[in-house]
Amino acid sequence: MPGVELLEMERIRQNSRCCGMGGGLKMGFPEIQALAAAERIKEAERTEAAAIVTPCPTCFLGLQTGAAKAESDISVRHLMELVNISVFGQ
């Protein structure tokens, strides 16, 4: 997508951190999930990126929770939002 610079966080691939939404953690321990997602958001902020993008609908919700918990201004976007903008414009 023109005008988009992709940045990687420090912890990626097999070393990446989870947003905490998997395995029912949100249902059983919502505060732990929010803390895990907030840590992922803080990691994204260290890249100085304007947004964190995920293709996963549950991570999208989890990262939104994390951004709220961390009181972050970073935008949480689903990958399909960006595809839609790229194809159809804003």
Burial of 37 (0-12, 13-18, 19+ CB in 10 A): buried
For residue 10, is pLDDT > 80? yes
CA distance 13 to 50: 21
Q: Give the pLDDT score at 86.
A: 86
pTM score of the predicted model: 0.85
Q: Give the pLDDT score at 1.
A: 56
CA distance 57 to 7: 21
**Looking at residues 54-83, what average pLDDT do you find?**
95
The model's confidence at residue 24, banded by pLDDT at 50, 70 and 90, is confident
Q: What is the mean pLDDT of the chain?
A: 91
